[in-house]
Amino acid sequence: MIEYDEIDRRMVLKLVYYGPALSGKTTNLLVLHDLLEREGRGDLMVLDTKDDRTIFFDLLPFFISAPSGLKIKVKVYTVPGQVNHDATRKAVLQRADGVAFIADSRIAERENNVESFSNLEKNLEIVGLDIEKLPLVIQFNKRDLPGIIPEEDIRSVWSPTGIPVFMASALEKRGVIETFGRLAEMTFDSIDRRYGLQENHGLDKAAFLEKLSLSAQRA
Residue range 63-99, pLDDT digits in tens? 688 899 998 888 888 887 666 667 777 888 989 999 9
What is the distance between the alpha carbons of residues 165 and 159, in angstroms, rounded to a whole number? 8
Instruction: Supply the CATH number for residue 39's domain.
Output: 3.40.50.300
Given this model, what pLDDT does residue 31 score?
Answer: 86
What is the distance between the alpha carbons of residues 97 and 81, in angstroms, rounded to a whole number? 20
Mean pLDDT in residue range 124-148: 97
Q: Which domain holds residue 143?
A: 3-208
Asked if pLDDT for residue 50 goes beyond 90, the answer is no
In a domain, 217, yes or no: no
Number of domains in the chain: 1
- The 10s digit of each residue's pLDDT in 150-207 is 999 999 999 999 999 999 999 999 999 999 999 999 999 999 999 999 999 999 998 8
In a domain, 219, yes or no: no
pLDDT: which is higher, 60 or 114: 114
In a domain, 218, yes or no: no
Strand, helix or coil for residue 131: coil
pTM of the predicted model as reported, rounded to 2 decimal places:
0.88
What is the distance between the alpha carbons of residues 78 and 99, in angstroms, rounded to a whole number? 10
